[in-house]
């Protein structure tokens, strides 16, 4: 990854902006975020980048070679995800399922009220 751009087998992913959002942190600070479609040409994923100075500090790393039985996990909210950039590659035996939908959702930065609009939302 170089300056937030994921590079797989020497080919950078393609990013297309699809919208903006406001992210609220536990201290009440709201930060602008850019939502993007990340595409390798085979699959698309919706991701999010926070506006500076917020972020992971892990916008660049590697290159690394990922062994056959390991997986690199990257969160969709790239600047606010504790993913493989923090805990390392995940061994295949630890992968036991696939997320396909949001079961329940709550406003974790406010009063923990249910976000009913996200219940059952299909993941892309």
Q: Which pair of tokens denotes residue 66?
A: 């990922």
Is it the case that residue 99 has pLDDT exceeding 80? yes
Tokens (6 digits) for 31: 């930060």
| For the ranges 11-20, 36-45, 108-117, the one whose mean pLDDT is highest | 11-20
Compute φ and ψ for 78, nearest 5 degrees.
-55, -30
Alpha-carbon distance 9 to 14, whole Å? Answer: 14
Residue matched to tokens 């903006």: 20
- Ordered by start, the domain boundaries in the chain are 7-95
In tens, the pLDDT along 23-73 reads: 877 777 888 889 999 998 888 888 988 877 666 678 888 899 999 999 999
């Amino acid at each position: 990854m170089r300056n937030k751009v994921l590079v797989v087998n020497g080919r950078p992913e393609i990013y297309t902006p699809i919208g903006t959002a406001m992210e609220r942190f536990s201290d009440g600070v709201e930060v602008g975020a850019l939502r993007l479609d990340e595409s390798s040409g085979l699959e698309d994923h919706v991701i999010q980048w926070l506006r500076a100075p917020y972020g992971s500090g892990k916008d660049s790393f590697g290159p690394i070679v990922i062994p056959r039985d390991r997986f690199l996990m990257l969160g969709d909210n790239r600047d606010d995800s504790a993913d493989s950039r923090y805990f390392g590659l995940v061994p295949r035996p630890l992968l036991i399922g696939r997320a396909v939908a949001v079961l329940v959702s709550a406003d974790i930065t406010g009063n923990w009220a249910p976000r009913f609009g996200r219940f059952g939302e299909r993941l892309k």
